[in-house]
């Protein structure tokens, strides 16, 4: 594998890792809000 | 050399993963699902409603990804689909499969946790129906593929309603019937002016197997039960005059357009203006009809 190819792969991996981190963060917040809403419904 | 051979180990770009989910189709799915939810007599808390619509969108995206995974060879043969990530070689097939299965499971579990079990079951059935019944079983075997397969796209308003209420009632079943009956004329209008693509790919769409005249007759025939199902909520007392007047106007327009298709004699794509007009209007028709239903629910005359 050539140097530019390796750099391209690393760049794409970094981009996807960053996006995954954002999506996981959003998922955690969503689960928190769902829990709060469900607790409200249970009352 | 294909791009796939040129970039053998490159991880999929997130934009290609997004393209796998067929975002344009998803917009109609999300809209009808949202209308089903907003037309329900009770509304869930905002975050639950948002999550239900998110799950419908993710489920539709997952079904789209699995459809593209299975049909990569077919997509490569058609001009309209040849630039998709898999036929264009920008993504590994296995990555598409993992993405589709993962997203399916995630959307169903999240729907079950956030809304209710019945909505999750309906979402799972709609994904499996689209992938197994339509894509794998029917699409390459019968010209009725779009008739039966259309049921998969008819689920979102039903799922939206069930996510809000937890029950299946007559109105969401009619909404299901409307999309079910709308799908054949919508896709047959498209397949008339891109039939050479379908013929080249060996997909047995109605214009390829039964001819143009027969397809035009079927389009006209299907718009009649569609109009009945679409107007029915008004006389049945399930919707009010806001929906009723909109439904009558929209259905009169789609029946007239279908009759114009029926009277068209052109056999080349250039002469198929009535078909192109019907195809374009059918999308607007569905958006407007479902928007009218929501407006009817919220606007008191």
Model pLDDT, residue B7 = 53
Model pLDDT, residue B121 = 98
**CATH superfamily, domain at B13-168:** UbiA prenyltransferase (1.10.357.140)
Task: Using an 8 Å CB-CB cutoff, list chain B residues near A30.
Answer: 47, 51
Q: Which candidate from A12, A37, A38 shows the least CB-CB separation from B11?
A: A12
Inter-chain Cβ pairs, chain A and chain B, closer than 8 A = 30
Interface test with B, best of A10, A20, A22, A30 (most B CBs within 10 A): A30
Model pLDDT, residue A41 = 82
Q: Which candidate from A15, A33, A40 shows the least CB-CB separation from B14?
A: A15
Q: How far is A4 from chain B (nearest CA, A)?
A: 12
Model pLDDT, residue B23 = 92
Put simply, whether B13 touches A (Cβ < 8 Å) is: yes
Model pLDDT, residue B110 = 98
Task: Using an 8 Å CB-CB cutoff, list chain B residues near A9.
Answer: 9-11
Model pLDDT, residue B6 = 44
Model pLDDT, residue B197 = 82
What are the 10-residue block averages of pLDDT along chain B, 301 residues in total?
50 90 92 97 96 98 97 90 92 94 98 98 97 94 89 96 97 98 95 86 89 96 97 97 97 98 93 96 97 92 67
* C-alpha angle A34-B45-B62 in degrees, rounded to nearest 5: 60
Put simply, whether B256 touches A (Cβ < 8 Å) is: no
- CA nearest neighbour of B60 among B91, B104, B12, B14: B104
Model pLDDT, residue B301 = 67
């Amino acid at each position: 594998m050539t140097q530019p190819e390796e750099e391209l792969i690393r760049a794409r991996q970094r981009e996807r890792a960053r996006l995954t981190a954002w999506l996981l963060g959003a998922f955690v917040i969503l689960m928190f809000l769902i829990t709060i809403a469900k607790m409200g419904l249970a009352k | 050399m294909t791009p796939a051979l040129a970039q053998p180990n490159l991880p999929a770009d997130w934009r290609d993963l997004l393209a796998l989910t067929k975002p344009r189709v998803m917009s109609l799915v999300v809209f009808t699902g949202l209308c089903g939810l907003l037309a329900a007599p009770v509304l869930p808390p905002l975050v639950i409603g948002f999550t239900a619509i998110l799950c419908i969108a993710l489920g539709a995206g997952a079904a789209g990804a699995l459809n593209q995974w299975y049909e990569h060879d077919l997509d490569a043969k058609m001009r309209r689909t040849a630039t998709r990530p898999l036929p264009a070689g920008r993504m590994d097939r296995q990555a598409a499969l993992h993405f589709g299965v993962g997203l399916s499971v995630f959307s169903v579990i999240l729907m079950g946790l956030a809304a209710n079990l019945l909505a999750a079951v309906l979402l799972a059935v709609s994904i499996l129906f689209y992938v197994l019944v339509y894509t794998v079983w029917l699409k390459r075997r019968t010209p009725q593929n779009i008739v039966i397969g259309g049921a998969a796209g008819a689920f979102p308003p039903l799922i939206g309603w069930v996510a809000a209420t937890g029950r299946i009632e007559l109105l969401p079943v009619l909404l299901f019937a409307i999309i079910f009956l709308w799908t054949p004329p919508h896709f047959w209008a498209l397949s008339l002016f891109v039939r050479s693509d379908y013929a080249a790919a060996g997909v047995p769409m109605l214009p390829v197997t039964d001819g143009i005249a027969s397809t035009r007759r079927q389009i006209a025939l299907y718009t009649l039960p569609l109009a009945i199902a679409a107007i029915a909520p008004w006389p049945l007392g399930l919707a009010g005059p806001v929906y009723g007047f909109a439904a009558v106007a929209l259905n009169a327009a789609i029946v007239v357009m279908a009759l114009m298709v029926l009277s068209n004699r052109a056999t080349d794509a250039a002469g198929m203006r009535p078909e192109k007009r019907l195809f374009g209007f059918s999308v607007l028709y569905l958006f407007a009809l479902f928007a009218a239903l929501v407006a009817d629910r919220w606007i008191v005359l």
